[in-house]
Amino acid sequence: MKFSKLTLIILYIYFLSGCEIFYKKPKHAIAKYKSNYLFYEDIENNVPKNLTQNESLLFVKNEIAKWAKNHILVENAKINIEKDQQNQLLGQVEAYNDQLFSHHYKEKIVKALMDTLVDKKSIFDYYEKNKSNFKLNEDIIQGRYIKLPKENFEISLIRNKFRRFNKNDISFLDSISLQFTSFSFNDSSWINKDVFFSKFPLVKDYIKNNIVKKYLFYQLEDSLELYLIKVNQSVLKNDNAPLKYMEPTLRQILVNKRKLEFIANFENELYNNAIQTRELELYE
């Protein structure tokens, strides 16, 4: 006869507990400390999947030990901590519970009722009003690059199309991209300057700075590969961050502002409704 893992664990715990408890304890209880029982269902969801039988038994034994130690500690704390301090702790627990319920209720209401979509105009208006506060702490650029083997027979054509980079050029370069060691054509997104140039370790700092400041095309080669680099735009540290770079952050700022306003209005509405229905009475 085969037994399930749950059955084997329970039988094992029964055996450890002794026959007398076997007949008197509640069904499916796997441990008891004074009047407190631990049931397998209490820890079932914590048991990792794909454990062997022995690993499962060891895990359950450890969970029982943690459960028992917690009950023993709490009981001893109640004995050894003065009543006034106990009442203070219970008050803190109650306050935390209230905050936890309130927080989750507000989050649920926000999710159900609040529109968190922020349009482009709102982002633009907020940026224009506050852009002097958005200073960069890094140099950022918009650029593209290609790495390709030096023996590629289409290098001259690839170089020309990479430099001009119109729609037809992009389509062509995409179509032969399997020939490249690596590449990035996403030159409308902002990226940290050092992260971009880390792909070309042979480019010296003064050359990097010259490329960035003058938006140059640059070609570099080593014994194996050719590197084509083009920087379109740059914004340097301590300058105002560009709108597109800031857009994800600004969107989140506006969502959070809207969320705080929504919650404040919701709380006020509940408060005023409680007064109108006389569920809340204010005494002088």
pLDDT in tens, 174-196: 999 999 999 999 999 999 999 99
Name the 3-class secondary structure at 283: coil
Spatial distance between the Cα atoms of 86 and 142, rounded to a whole number of angstroms: 61
Residue 130 forms part of a structural domain: no
User: Residue 19 pLDDT more than 50?
Assistant: no
SS (H, E, C) 215-275: CCEEEEECCCEEEEEEEEEEECCCCECCHHHHHHHHHHHHHHHHHHHHHHHHHHHHHHHHH
Same domain as 146, residue 79: no
Q: Note whether 219 and 230 are within 8 A (CB).
A: no
Report d(CA 12, CA 250) in Å as an integer.
58
Say if residue 142 is in the same domain as residue 69.
no
Whose structure tokens read 């980079």?
Answer: 165
* Domain final residue, candidates 21, 53, 83: 83
pLDDT at 65 over 50: yes
Q: What is the CATH number of the domain that holds 203?
A: 3.10.50
CB atoms inside a 10 Å sphere around CB 18: 9
Domain membership of residue 271 (yes or no) is no
Could you give the number of structural domains in the chain?
A: 2
Q: Using alpha carbons only, how large is the chain's radius of gyration in Å?
A: 33
Q: What is the mean pLDDT of residues 229-248?
A: 94
140 and 231, same domain (yes or no) = yes
Determine if the pTM surpasses 0.85: no
* 214: containing domain: 136-235
pLDDT in tens, 72-129: 999 999 999 999 999 999 999 999 999 999 999 999 999 898 888 899 999 999 999 9
Predicted confidence at residue 258, as pLDDT, reads 93
Q: How far apart are the first and last CA of the chain?
A: 76
- Does residue 161 lie in a domain region? yes
Beta bridge partners of 225: 149
d(CA 199, CA 178): 18
- Domain assignment present for 272: no
| Same-domain status, 79 and 141 | no
The reply to whether 140 and 79 lie within a common domain is no
What confidence tens digit (pLDDT) does each residue in 259-280 have?
999 999 999 999 999 999 999 9
Cβ-count burial 114-146 (b if 16+ within 10 Å, e if not): eeeebeeeebeebbeeeeeebebeebbbbbbbb
Q: Classify residue 258: in a domain, yes or no.
A: no
How far is the C-alpha of 265 from the C-alpha of 212, rounded, in Å?
Answer: 49
Whether 259 is covered by a domain: the verdict is: no
| Cα–Cα dist 91/102, whole Å | 16
